[in-house]
Structure 1
C-alpha cells in the first residue's frame, strides 16, 4: 500500500496539536491565514516545537501578505526568520520569491536556500502565480528545494488536477509535489487517483464560537475590514483523521 504524507496548514498551536492528534506527518505553521499565511511569532514556533513530539514542524517564511516580489529589507527579514526557525528546532521552512515579471527570483532564492542548509525547504504557492510553471519547476529543482506546494495554478487543487499530473510527470521523482488548497475529505482521493501525487496539504478547520459573554460587535479590530471577531477557524483532529481515512479507504478499494 502507498504511504502518503500529510501536511496540515496550522494557524495556531491549538491547530498544531489537533493535526498531531489526527495523524498528520507534519504541520506548516502560519500566522495571517486570511492573507495566505505569514511568518508566525518566535513564541508560537517555540511552543509548537516543544509540544509537537510526533509531527514534524515546518514554518512559513513570509514577511507580509500580497505579492511575492520582495525588497532587500524584506529578504533580510526572511533570512533572519529562517535563522530563528532553525535555532528553535523547526524541521523545515516554506518560502518563495518571484520577480516583477513572474519568474522565479533566483538571486533571492539562492540567498534563502543558503540560509536554509540543514532544513527541508518547500517552495510555496508563489509557484501558482508564476509565469511559466514548467520552467519554474526546473529552476526550483536546480535550487535544491525539497518540494513544491501547488494547486496546479488554479483556485483549488481539484481544479488544478490536469497541471498537477503534468508536473508530476515532468518532475519524474526529482522533487516532491505537495497538492494543496481546497483539499478535504470529499476530494482528496479523487485528486490522488487522478494525479498520482503522494503528499497533501490541507487545513481541516472548522469554525468555533468565542467564549466571550460580553460582545461589542460594532467595533472591528481591522478598521474598515470587518470580520466576525467572535468566531475563529481551528483545525480539528477529527477532520484530519476523516481526510486521511478518506484517502486510504479509496486506495484500499483499488
Structure 2
C-alpha cells in the first residue's frame, strides 16, 4: 500500500516522512482544494529527503475549465516543478461539457514527462466516470485521484470499487477525500486499492499573543483567523495503522 499525504507546508512534508508515508502532494490554499505552491515552497520541500514529492498544478480554485492564460501558467508551473526536482505533477482540466479536455491534458502530460502524472479530483466533476477513465488511460496518465464522484471516499466506495475493477493494471485508481482513522480499514478492505491519499491535519492555535479579532484577511466564509491547520504525524500513523516510533 502506497500512502500519499496532502500537505501545504514544509513541516507537513516532514511530518508525512516521519510517519512513514511514501509521498507528499504539495499544495497551497487547501481551503480551496489546493492550488500550485510557490517555487520557493517546492524548492524547500525537495530538500526533505526520504519521501516522494508530487506538486499540484492548479492556477486557481473553483472549476476546472481553464482559459488560454491559465493554461500557459500551468505549463510554466510544470516547468518549475520539474526544474526544482519534483517526482510528479498533479493536473486536471475539463471541457465546459464535463468531459476530460483530452487535447490540453495531452499537452500538459508531454510537458511534464518524464515526471509521474496524476489526474486529480477534477475527475469527480466529469459527467461519465467510465468515459473519463478510458480517456485518461488512453492519454497515459499514471493515476487518478477520486472520491468516487461523491463528497467522500466512503460515500463513493461502490464507484471506486468498480473503477479499480475496470482499470486493472492499466492505471492506478487512488481513493482520496475524507479518509481518516475511523474509515480507512473498511475502505482498504473493500476497495483493495494500491494507493490512498489523505491529509491527516489537525487544528492548532496560532502563536500570536496580540490579536485583533474583528479583522479578517479573507472573505465572509473563513476559518478562524488565528487558528492553523497542520499536518499531524500522529494522525497519519493512525490512518496507516502504525504505532509511533
Could you say whether these structures have the same fold, taking a TM-score greater than 0.5 normalized by the shorter chain as the test? yes
Uncovered stretches (5+) of structure 1, i.e. residues with no partner: 247-254
Aligned to 1:251: none
State how far apart, in whole Å, the 1-side matches of 2:50 and 2:16 are.
Answer: 10
* TM value normalised by structure 1: 0.94
CA RMSD of aligned residues (A): 0.9
State how far apart, in whole Å, the 2-side matches of 1:131 and 1:82 are.
Answer: 27
Uncovered stretches (5+) of structure 2, i.e. residues with no partner: none
1:65 to 2:65 alignment:
no
Aligned length: 242
Aligned to 2:41: 44
> What aligned pairs does 1:167-178 form with structure 2 within 5 A after superposition?
167-178=163-174
Q: How big is each residue's C-alpha offset from its partner over 1:58-100, in whole Å with a ceiling of 9 and x where there is no partner?
A: 0000000000000011011000000000000000000110000
1:127 to 2:104 alignment:
no
State how far apart, in whole Å, the 2-side matches of 1:70 and 1:200 are.
Answer: 27
* TM value normalised by structure 2: 0.97
Aligned to 2:12: 15
Aligned to 1:83: 79
Aligned to 2:193: 197
1:150 to 2:139 alignment:
no
1:223 CA displacement: 4.2
Corresponding residue to 1:6 among 3, 10, 13: 3
Aligned to 2:159: 163
Corresponding residue to 1:30 among 17, 20, 27: 27
| 3-state DSSP of counterpart to 1:215 | coil
